[in-house]
Structure 1
Amino acid sequence: MAKEIKTEIVINAKPEKVWAILTDFKSYPNWNPFIKSIIGDVKVGNKITARIEPPKAKGMTFKPKVLTYETNKELKWLGHLLLAGLFDGEHKFELIDNGNGTTTFKQSEKFKGILVPLFKKQLDNNTKKGFEAMNSKLKELAEQK
């Protein structure tokens, strides 16, 4: 069973500015309404510790493996709930330079595993709302100054 959530927002700032905010993980507790913390050396192949708190849902801490870290373009990781194959999430942040001083920020996650059907409603509601809240806050911060 698989499920994907996709969100995107156009930000009136260059990818470099958006990326600087997105990858300033120490500041997440101060502004990010969805991902409360990312701890660790965020490099391809490394495991990090991430804490998510979707709106109106129980938060969770997990240790995903970084799959992609391409400056000003993409950050992707793969996390598991308990064991691989039960409930796996491949989370991706993508920045697209629109060439006019704006950036399209895409946040998506592909969920796979036997427990996905049990979480479908929560993913469609709480998790997607968490993505959208984070996207809006990132836009607000990047467009300041």
Structure 2
Amino acid sequence: MPTILSHTIDIQAPADRVWAVLTDTAAYPTWNPFMTRLEGDLVVGARLAVTVVPPGGKPNNFSPTVTEVEPGRRLAWLGRLLATWIFAGAHSFEVRPLGPGATRFTQSERFSGLLVPLLRSTLRSTEAGFAAMNTALAERAETGVRH
């Protein structure tokens, strides 16, 4: 049975600024406590190199494939362990304008495959990682910090 994790935050910054922070992946090591590395082209079909560090956990490296890019609105990828029936994670980021200067940002992932029941405790720390990343993204977008 699939497991879906999601975290949403309202950010007091325009959607284009939130998108700019999200897609400036080279800066992730300077501000992102959860996704400390994201390398590769954000285009459909591209393979990425990603490192996540769940709160209290060890770094985990994986190479998902970008499945959707709607500039300014949505970015998604699919990661898997050997085959999707063993373990897969469909990850997405959504940027929704709430008006001028306000944005709703949602990060979610749908986990599926035979290993999901065995990884439930790990997935809980992943959800906490989403919250930490979303909060850091909000702070960066709201302050307009650029490195």
Length-normalised TM-score, structure 1: 0.95
Query: Are positions 1:74 and 2:77 aligned together?
Result: no
Partner of 2:15: 15
Q: Secondary structure at the match of 1:45?
A: coil
Structure 1's unaligned 5+ residue stretches are none
Tell me the percent identity.
Answer: 43
Distance in 1 between the 2:58 and 2:86 partners? 18
Shift of 1:122: 1.9
Aligned structure 1 segments of 4 or more residues deviating by more than 4 angstroms = none
Shift of 1:117: 0.3
Distance in 2 between the 1:49 and 1:84 partners? 18
Partner of 2:45: 45
Structure 2's unaligned 5+ residue stretches are none
Distance in 1 between the 2:35 and 2:83 partners? 21
Distance in 1 between the 2:71 and 2:122 partners? 31
Shift of 1:59: 1.8
| Counterpart residue type for residue 97 of structure 1 | P
Shift of 1:83: 3.0
Distance in 2 between the 1:100 and 1:48 partners? 32
Distance in 1 between the 2:3 and 2:116 partners? 7
Aligned length: 144
Does the CA contact (< 8 Å) of 2:84 and 2:112 recur in 1? no
Query: Are positions 1:128 and 2:127 aligned together?
Result: yes
Superposition RMSD in Å: 1.0
Query: Are positions 1:141 and 2:140 aligned together?
Result: yes
Length-normalised TM-score, structure 2: 0.94
Does the CA contact (< 8 Å) of 2:85 and 2:114 recur in 1? yes
